[in-house]
Chains A and B, each alone.
Chain A
Amino acid sequence: DAKTTQPNSMESNEEEPVHLPCNHSTISGTDYIHWYRQLPSQGPEYVIHGLTSNVNNRMASLAIAEDRKSSTLILHRATLRDAAVYYCILRLYENTGNQFYFGTGTSLTVIP
């Protein structure tokens, strides 16, 4: 199974940008990179996903390395509500369907 590795924890000051890295060296050509976040006592929440090109949405940006072996989730201005565990996930597609495998996650602390 393709896997992702992430730092266990990161800190950021409120209203500053945050760059959350993810390594996925075993990624294959058809694997999508997804990011989700999970607040305490809640299910994971979708943040963003991409295949090759950088992606932007209202929540964040996703920067994907040219060789696709790493990616970075960018929160442009961290707020206290962004404190969560952020998971980098590879979505594998096979003839049996999609499989979403979670990485170990990065716990983000936002300092007021």
Chain B
Amino acid sequence: DTEVTQTPKHLVMGMTNKKSLKCEQHMGHRAMYWYKQKAKKPPELMFVYSYEKLSINESVPSRFSPECPNSSLLNLHLHALQPEDSALYLCASSQSQGPNTGELFFGEGSRLTVL
């Protein structure tokens, strides 16, 4: 199984809603990542988890709250978002966070629209 699965594929939410994005992988990878991608722009790194601990937060606003309940699962909790947060949210995983880790495996993304 070499897949990263993201749910939901599409999400529409109001600015007062609370919702979550989910990411799952069963490759035994110990590093997981959240990226944000606006239209026609490259993905921007948001968070990195290594061995279920948050290792990198790229100064992301607190209305985005990541969670890694176990080594296979990564969540992104969303609260009080703004319309400019509308984007494609991509999850990725890699074997480890060591210096010799290989490539990233990406999911297909969750497309978020904030009204």
Question: Which A residues are within 8 Å of any B CB, using their own CB?
Answer: 30, 34, 36, 41-46, 49, 87, 93, 96-105
How far apart sit A104 and B107, CA to CA, in the bound complex (Å)?
A: 20
Does B56 sit within 8 A of A, measured CB to CB? yes
Determine if B76 is an interface residue (Cβ-Cβ < 8 Å): no
B31 at the interface (CB under 8 A from A): yes
With A100-B33, A102-B43, A103-B42 as contacts: A43 and B101 at CB distance below 8 Å? no
Q: Cβ of A105: which chain B residues have Cβ within 8 Å of it?
A: 42
CA distance A35 to B101 in the complex (A): 15
B55 and A45 within 8 A (CB)? no
Report yes or no: B99 in contact with A30, Cβ–Cβ below 8 A.
Answer: yes
Please name 7 further chain A to chain B contacts, defined as beta carbons within 8 Å, in addition to the given A46-B103, A100-B45, sorted by A numbering: A36-B104, A43-B108, A43-B109, A93-B99, A97-B31, A99-B56, A102-B43
A42: chain B residues within 8 A (beta carbon): 108-109
30 A-B Cβ contacts within 8 A? A30-B99, A34-B104, A36-B104, A41-B108, A43-B90, A43-B92, A43-B107, A43-B108, A44-B43, A44-B104, A46-B103, A46-B105, A49-B103, A87-B42, A93-B98, A96-B48, A97-B55, A97-B56, A98-B31, A98-B97, A98-B98, A99-B45, A99-B56, A100-B92, A100-B104, A101-B45, A102-B42, A103-B42, A104-B42, A105-B42
